[in-house]
Amino acid sequence: MPIQRPSSGYPDAESGSGHSHSGKFEANRESLQSDSEELAPRDSSVSFHEIMFDKHPQAMWVYDADTLQFLSVNDSALECYGYTKSEFLTMTVGDIHRNEEEFPPDRLHSGQFEPGQNVYHRHRKKDGTEIFVEVTARAVEFGQHRAVLTLLTDVTQRREAEMANQRLVTAIEQTAECIMIADPHGLLLYVNPAFERVTGYSREEIIGQSVRIFKSGQHDAEFYRKMWDTIAGGQVWSGQVINKKKDGSLYCEEMTISPICDSNGQILNYVAVKRDVTRELALEEQLRQSQKMEAIGQLAGGIAHDFNNLLTIVQGNAALMLEDPKIDPFCEELVKDIAGAVERATGLTRQLLVVSRKQAIQPVEVNLNEIVESLANMMRRLLGEGTMLRCVYYPDLPLIHADRGMLQQVLLNLSLNARDSMPNGGQLEIGTSVKTVDAGQTGSNTGASPGRFVCLRVSDTGHGIEAENLSRIFDPFYTTKDVGQGTGLGLATVYSIIKQHHGWVETYSQVGKGSTFLVYLPTSSAIAHVPKPDVGLTHLPCGTETILVAEDDFAVRHLVRKLLERCGYTVWIAESGVSALALWEMHKDEIHLLLTDIMMPGGILGSDLAKRLQAEKPQLKVIYTSGYGSDVVNKLPLLVEGMNMIHKPWQPKALAQTVRNCLDQK
């Protein structure tokens, strides 16, 4: 074969790690290697070699190993790269390579590569297009020069497919979602690292296992049947599944399972993409519970307001009836019973506000024995016939400085929690005692402190609390009960209330034997005295001032008028802020005090009314009243119960005394 005069050469296979040549080119390479030894000019064989070289279906070229210039190229190389033969023979291999950084010139010279070695390079065509080629090179003799015979295969499409596959594999390996591939029988073939992190299984443990290993027992057979019917029919299935981890714990996954089919529609594999949504669902449930509690709070607040107005009317009129000197002794006893019922109803209203989180703590000196005794009958009804309630009272129990309604809430929450732990019945024991705690007994309980405490003990014979759950039982929204059977707020409320009272709670439990809650509350130095309701109107504090009453409830409005007029006051009544302003314009010079409900219809609140009137008459005294909870009352600063604030339902004497206190205030 005639060889062109050497001008430059560029051995194209002198760097990179070796690759075995594809099988379909092995025969060509072997014949090329044997024939290349004959590339030196000869007489009779030139024509045969020229035909073999020029017409070879794969691109081939020869370049000088020292000068790095092309010596000859075949027709396939011309067609592949787009250059003419004359253009090629003025070029070096460096003109073909994409850049020198990938294949530096000092490694292109003879001796820097293994003969027959296969490597991959990126080349640039005449039009600038880049291709990826597999290169097979062999050193040959060319007269007095050394040369390199190179066979090139365009593997751009194959390489791009490999790179795309590698990107896909990398993405699957690094994605945060769990991915698993199973065969048509449900045997696992592949899982990604995210799957290992979430489930706790390693690849070695799980490959070859059936997907049934994750079954939690939370779904029935019909659930799984529908899932398999869907994917076996070639359809995609999506939904939430509760599965089981390696350690046995349950978690919820959002899962999409897709069947992978061949060209004939035959299912080859199933691919599942899964995401652990356990925490998200928990947060959503907490949000729903918060919204539910907020709605309950709004409802309870509204009920308490209207209920307090009714109790105010009943209580005030009972007081007026008891003042009648002609009242029959039998009727007098009935009215006193009514007054006592109003007192108990007032306590229930305060409990509504405690549940709605709209009642601030209002501590008084109370006897814990009396609180337990007052709730005992109601708790027996709540516990049911299967649960026996036993109360053990400590004699001469010291008083505690506490909010009666909130302590009732604590006792109810602990008792109901105990009932739920005894679904088949059992025994609940509530006891009181006195304990002295020294500094060495506080232990690891950060809320404990030394001193003398009244202790409330609530013990049950239920299923108990597992050790790993004890540290979390007071967390808001945490519950071990089934969905729909508990909000996770009962014990959190207990903890919060006791902390407000400067006490603490201790819990002892044994699975299968029951639980005991010990509530510690600091004792008070006050002497026990529980006054009976005084609903009479004897010796009411009186006066001669003029009072403007703004109250939207008709019956309450007229009750206030009767009581205050009986005390000697001149009273003007208004059903709204607008009508109160009209009366003010006519009588403002003579009005000494404004008694107003905080919340009123008509666009003018009691607080706004007071500001407008005091702006005109700074010396005007104001008393606020409300049947709402502390969330409304606390919006007004510097309110003092019995001085410039009185909560509904109020005692008639309390109202008269508050009016007098406010008017006498300097």
Query: What are the structural domains, with CATH classification, of the chain?
Result: 23-160 (3.30.450.20), 175-276 (3.30.450.20), 285-354 (1.10.287), 368-522 (3.30.565.10), 546-664 (3.40.50.2300)
Write the CA distances from 63 to 136, 138, 156, 189, integer angstroms: 13, 11, 23, 49
pLDDT at 404: 83
Q: Which of 57-71, 297-311, 367-381, 448-462 has the lowest mean pLDDT?
A: 297-311
Q: Which helix (H) or strand (E) holds 497?
A: helix 490-500
Q: What is the pLDDT of residues 628-665, one digit of tens each?
A: 655 555 566 667 776 888 888 888 888 889 999 999 98
Confidence of residue 415 (pLDDT cuts 50, 70, 90): confident
Contact predicate 273/255, CB 8 Å: yes
- Which has the closest alpha carbon to 260: 321, 182, 363, 326? 182
Whether the predicted pLDDT of 143 surpasses 80 = no
Contact predicate 69/173, CB 8 Å: no
Give the long-range contacts of residues 602-607, CB within 8 A, separation 24 or more: 602/576, 602/577, 602/578, 603/577, 603/578, 604/576, 604/577, 604/578, 604/580, 605/577, 606/550, 606/577, 607/635, 607/636
Query: Residue 438 class from Cβ within 10 Å (0-12 exposed, 13-18 middle, 19+ buried)?
Result: exposed
- Which has the closest alpha carbon to 308: 347, 363, 359? 347
Q: Which of 223-227, 395-399, 411-415, 531-535 has the lowest mean pLDDT?
A: 531-535
Per-residue burial over 405-437, b if 16 or more Cβ lie within 10 Å, else e, is bbbbbbbbbbbebbbbbbeeebebbbbbeeeeb
- Which has the closest alpha carbon to 255: 288, 231, 220, 234? 231
Whether the predicted pLDDT of 357 surpasses 80 = no
Chain position carrying tokens 């314009």: 585
pLDDT at 9: 34
CA 565 from centroid of its chain's CA atoms: 58
pLDDT at 120: 81
Distance, in Å, from the CA atom of 593 to the CA atom of 352, rounded to the nearest integer, reads 32
pLDDT at 476: 56
pLDDT at 42: 47
pLDDT at 521: 92
Confidence of residue 350 (pLDDT cuts 50, 70, 90): low
Confidence of residue 207 (pLDDT cuts 50, 70, 90): very high
In degrees, rounded to 5, the angle at the alpha carbon of residue 486 between the alpha carbons of residues 482 and 491 is: 125
Distance, in Å, from the CA atom of 321 to the CA atom of 56, rounded to the nearest integer, reads 124
Chain position carrying tokens 């309870």: 300
Q: What is the pLDDT of residues 524-566, one digit of tens each?
A: 865 444 444 444 555 678 999 999 999 988 888 888 998 899 8
Whether the predicted pLDDT of 385 surpasses 70 = yes
Higher per-residue pLDDT: 503 or 307? 503
Distance, in Å, from the CA atom of 346 to the CA atom of 362, rounded to the nearest integer, reads 14
Q: Which of 238-242, 412-416, 470-474, 493-497 has the lowest mean pLDDT?
A: 470-474
Q: Which of 98-102, 224-228, 255-259 has the lowest mean pLDDT?
A: 98-102
Whether the predicted pLDDT of 229 surpasses 90 = yes
Q: What integer best gives the mean pLDDT of the chain?
A: 79
Q: What is the pLDDT of residues 16-73, one digit of tens each?
A: 333 333 443 444 444 444 444 444 444 444 567 678 888 889 999 988 888 888 988 9
Contact predicate 201/223, CB 8 Å: no
Residues 6+ apart with CB under 8 A from 513: 461, 464
Chain position carrying tokens 């004897």: 538
Distance, in Å, from the CA atom of 451 to the CA atom of 439, rounded to the nearest integer, reads 8
Mean pLDDT of 483-500: 64
Report, in this order, helix, strand and coil percent for the chain, each rounded to 5.
Answer: 40, 25, 35
Whether the predicted pLDDT of 360 surpasses 70 = no
pLDDT at 631: 53
Distance, in Å, from the CA atom of 58 to the CA atom of 53, rounded to the nearest integer, reads 9
pLDDT at 111: 40
Tokens, residue 372: 């337990």
Whether the predicted pLDDT of 474 surpasses 70 = no
Contact predicate 389/431, CB 8 Å: no
Write the CA distances from 419 to 340, 413, 416, 467, 522, integer angstroms: 30, 10, 5, 20, 27
Give the sheet arrangement for strand 130-142, strand by strand. 70-73, 59-64, 145-154, 130-142, 118-124
Q: What is the DSSP string of 306-362?
A: HHHHHHHHHHHHHHHHHT-TT--HHHHHHHHHHHHHHHHHHHHHHHHHHHTT-----
Contact predicate 597/625, CB 8 Å: yes
Give the long-range contacts of residues 184-193, CB within 8 A, separation 24 or more: 184/267, 184/268, 184/269, 184/270, 185/210, 186/210, 186/211, 186/212, 186/270, 187/211, 189/269
Q: pLDDT over 70 for what percent of the chain?
A: 76
Distance, in Å, from the CA atom of 638 to the CA atom of 360, rounded to the nearest integer, reads 15
Mean pLDDT of 381-389: 82
